[in-house]
Amino acid sequence: MTEYLLILVGTVLVNNIVMVKILGLCPFMGVSKKLEAAVGMGAATTFVLTLGSGASYLIQHYLLGPDLAYLTTLSFIVVIAGIVQFTEMAIKKTSPELYQILGIYLPLITTNCAVLGIPLLNVQAKHDFMESLLFGFGGAVGFTLVMVLFAGIRERLEGADVPGVFKGSAIAMITAGLMSLSFMGFSGLVK
């Protein structure tokens, strides 16, 4: 039980996928202008990542095994693409606004390196099924957490007297950097 908790805390805070591993930056920068969009993107990514980690574990262990290890990346990409497609259709049906807000970033979850990175890290760390699921879920929660916090900051920054050349993406990048700096405070918390 403690182990699972540590995995969760570790992936959400200490080894945060965006702030510490610096993965998944493109939706992090792209869909964080509005709070609702960030929450939506976080939820969609959480769904895809959790499902993706589980599915990729099954594929890795029951389909590929050690013989077909060279197919890992390829098959993971295919599976993730499938899940993203499914998510996209579901969101389009259930929430056209969210679909519109997420725009191009929704299909781009496929190429979100965090989404491919976590199943691959799972393989590397030799996680069992439950651990893989938790690792995927925790990573996604960490992603959502910093997305939402970042979106909150960016909404506030809209009113700030930021010097002209730093307006928009530039100050967002600096903020992301300083956030990453702050997250280093967690280092050493979980091995």
Partner 1 sequence: MRQLFKFHGGVHPPTHKAESTRTPIAQAKMPSRLVIPLHQHVGNRAVPVVQVGERVLKGQIIGRPDGRLSSAVHASTSGTVSAIDMQLVAHFSGLPDLCITLIPDGRDEWIEHSGVDYKQTPHTELRHLLREAGVVGLGGAVFPSDLKSYSNKHKIKTLVLNGAECEPYITCDDLLMRERAGDTLRGAEVLRELLYAEEVLIGIEDNKPEAIAAMKKAVEQDGHQHMEVIAVPTLYPGGGAKQLIRVLTGIEVAAGVRSTEKGVQCFNVATAWSTWRAIAHGEPLLSRIVTVTGNVEHAQNFEVLLGTPVEELVAQAGSRPDTNRHIMGGPMMGVDLPSGQVGVTKATNCIIEGSDKLFPPPAPALPCIRCTRCADVCPADLQPQDLYWFAKSNNFGKTQEFHLFDCIECGACAYVCPSHIPLVQYYRYAKSEIWQREREAQSAEVARERHEYRQFRIEREKQEKAERLAQKEKAALAAKPAVPAPLPVAAAPNADPDDTLQMRVDADVAKANLQLRIDAAVARAKEQAATAKPRNTDALTPAQQAEIAEIEARRAKLREMASGAGADDEPPKHN
Partner 2 sequence: MISALLVMIGISLLLGAVLGYSAIRFKVEGNPLVEKIDAVLPQTQCGQCGYPGCKPYAEAIAKGEADINKCPPGGEEGIHKLADLLGVEYKPFGEGAAPKAKAVAFIDEQTCIGCTLCLQACPVDAIVGAAKQMHTIIVSECTGCELCVAPCPVDCISMQPLGEDIGNWKWRYPTISIVPVAAR
Partner 3 sequence: MWSSPFITLPSSVSQIMLRVLIALIPGIAAYVWYFGPAILVSIALASVTALATEAVMLKLRNRPLKPFLSDNSALITAWLLALSIPPLAPWWLVVVGTVFGIAVAKHLYGGLGNNIFNPAMVGYAVLIISFPGHMTHWLTPHAIGMLELPFSDQLGYIFGGILPAGLTLDAVTTATPLDTLKTQLHLGLSVNEIREMPIYGYLSGKGSEIVALGFAIGGLYMLATRIITWYLPLIYLAALFSIAGFFHLYDPAHYASPLFHWFSGAAMLGAFFIFTDPIGSPTTRKGKIIYAVGAALLTWLIRTFGGFPDGVAFAALLMNICVPLIDAYSQPRVFGKKGDGK
The residues that touch partner 2, with contacts defined as CB under 8 A, are 34, 37, 59, 63-64, 67-68, 71, 74-75, 78-79, 82, 85-86, 89-90, 92-93, 96, 100-104, 158, 161
Per-residue b or e along 120-153, where b marks 16 or more CB atoms closer than 10 Å to that residue's CB: ebbbeeebeeebbbbbbbbbbbbbbbbbbebbeb
Per-residue b or e along 87-116, where b marks 16 or more CB atoms closer than 10 Å to that residue's CB: bbeebeeeeeebbebbeebbebbbebebbb
- Give the closest residue to 155 by CA, choosing from 41, 42, 36: 36
Q: Which of partner 3, partner 1, partner 2, none interacts with 90 (beta carbon under 5 to 8 A by kind)? A: partner 2
Q: Which is nearer to partner 2, 85 or 180 (CB)?
A: 85
Round to the nearest angstrom and report the end-to-end CA distance of the chain. 16
Q: Which is nearer to partner 3, 63 or 170 (CB)?
A: 170
Q: Which is nearer to partner 1, 156 or 191 (CB)?
A: 156
CB of 150 to partner 2, least distance (A): 17
Q: Which positions touch partner 3 (CB under 8 A)?
A: 35, 148-149, 152-153, 155-157, 160-163, 166, 171, 174-175, 178-179, 181-189
- Give the closest residue to 171 by CA, choosing from 149, 153, 152: 153
Q: Which of partner 2, partner 3, partner 1, none interacts with 184 (beta carbon under 5 to 8 A by kind)? A: partner 3
Q: Give residue 106's Cα distance to chain centre.
A: 12
CB of 168 to partner 3, least distance (A): 13
